[in-house]
């Protein structure tokens, strides 16, 4: 009987078989969510490729998971946990937030799985924050209880955006006209980068050229468009301010880690950006934030790694 882990985002679903004893993964597959009408259809297709039946499944998914009915925020998928467990004939089913999974991966990352950005030192017993711009903006924190790692769930990506410069304030006013409430996710996500760029075009009276985050990023990195380049710089500034807020909220002396599918696409640009400057730019607490380390996660599948940690902890295979 096999254990399977799944990382379900707004764009892709990644699946793997997990060894309970070692945590190693195999049979890793990635599917586009657009290929399937429902989550269970994707799972059934994947299970059909395995040589043995599946007894335990842990799903990390990009939405709240407290109730039996799980409805994704940035995708039309929804399902009943009870019905899914029965349909797949599972002995154990765990459904966790995708950033619960990603956060639980952090203590198990090697030095090759992350890049340090700026100064600061990690306090191993300190609270750790994890966030990541992708299709949406995921946020979580983790603490060690002395027996296991515990993820503190939340929907921090939907807090109100707080500008940290006149330029950011001008963008906020334009986005308020469009959306009413402007969450951090409205700027720190794939569509968020597009929102920043479109707002910059309006402020400068320039014609909009790009409507996809990939195109904005490519234009910024190739210096084909000054406004795209400035938009990407602003994206990094805003990310820094947001990360600094997370660090202050729970005194994250364990560090702040950046995940998600967007930032690794422009790693060198990000390393040279004003991210760290805006992270530390908190007035009387700037010195405090200078001591907190920040990292970019470069692991290929942190969601799958974290889901294996959660599953193995629940099944008793990871102990103090």
Q: Check residue 271 and give its pLDDT.
A: 96
Q: Where in the chain is the domain with CATH 3.30.420.40?
A: 2-97+301-314
The pLDDT, as a whole number, for residue 56 is 97
* Domain 110-298 listed as CATH 3.40.367.20: yes
User: Tell me, what DSSP letter sits at residue 210?
Assistant: -
At 73 the pLDDT is: 79
CATH number of 2-97+301-314: 3.30.420.40
141 alpha carbon, distance to own chain's centre: 12
Series of mean pLDDT values for 10-residue runs along the chain (320 residues): 92 93 94 95 97 96 92 90 97 94 94 96 93 91 90 91 96 97 97 98 96 96 94 98 97 96 94 97 96 96 94 83
Instruction: Tell which residue, 318, 214, 203, has the closest CA to residue 265.
Output: 214
CATH 3.40.367.20 residue ranges of the chain are 110-298
Would you put residue 158 in left (φ > 0), alpha (ψ -120 to 50) or beta? alpha
Say what the pLDDT of residue 319 is. 63
Residue 150 buriedness (CB in 10 A; 0-12 / 13-18 / 19+) = middle
Quote the pLDDT of residue 261: 87
Instruction: For residues 317 and 261, give the distance between their C-alpha atoms in angstroms, rounded to a whole number.
Output: 30
In the chain, where do the E strands start and end? 2-8, 12-18, 25-32, 54-61, 69-71, 78-80, 92-97, 114-117, 128-133, 137-144, 149-152, 256-258, 294-297
């Amino acid at each position: 009987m096999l254990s399977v882990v799944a990382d379900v985002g707004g764009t892709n679903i990644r699946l793997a078989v997990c060894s309970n004893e070692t945590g190693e993964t195999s049979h890793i597959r990635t599917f586009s969510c657009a290929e399937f009408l429902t989550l269970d259809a994707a799972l059934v297709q994947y299970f059909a490729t395995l040589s043995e039946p599946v007894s335990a499944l842990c799903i990390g998914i990009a939405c709240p998971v407290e109730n039996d009915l799980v409805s994704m925020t940035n995708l039309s998928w929804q399902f009943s946990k009870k019905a899914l467990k029965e349909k797949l004939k599972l002995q154990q089913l765990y459904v966790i937030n995708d950033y619960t999974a990603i956060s639980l991966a952090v203590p198990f990352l090697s030095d090759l799985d992350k890049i340090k950005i700026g100064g600061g030192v990690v306090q191993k017993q300190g609270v750790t924050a994890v966030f990541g711009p992708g299709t949406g903006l995921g946020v979580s924190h983790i603490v060690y209880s002395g027996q296991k790692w515990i993820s503190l769930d939340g929907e921090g990506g939907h807090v109100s955006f707080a500008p940290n410069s006149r330029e950011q304030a001008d963008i906020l006013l334009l986005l308020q006209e469009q959306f009413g409430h402007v969450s951090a996710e409205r700027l720190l996500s794939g569509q968020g980068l597009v929102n920043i760029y479109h707002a910059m075009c309006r402020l400068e009276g320039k014609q909009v050229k790009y409507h996809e985050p990939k195109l904005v990023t490519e234009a910024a990195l190739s210096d084909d468009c000054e406004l795209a380049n400035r938009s990407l710089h602003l994206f990094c500034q805003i990310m820094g301010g947001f990360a600094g807020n997370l660090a202050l909220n729970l005194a994250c002396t364990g560090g702040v880690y950046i995940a998600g599918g967007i930032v690794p696409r422009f790693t060198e640009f990000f390393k040279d950006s004003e991210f760290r400057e805006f992270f530390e730019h908190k007035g009387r607490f700037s010195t405090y934030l200078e001591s907190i380390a920040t990292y970019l996660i470069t692991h290929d599948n942190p969601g799958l790694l974290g889901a294996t940690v959660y599953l193995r902890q629940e099944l008793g295979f990871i102990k103090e």
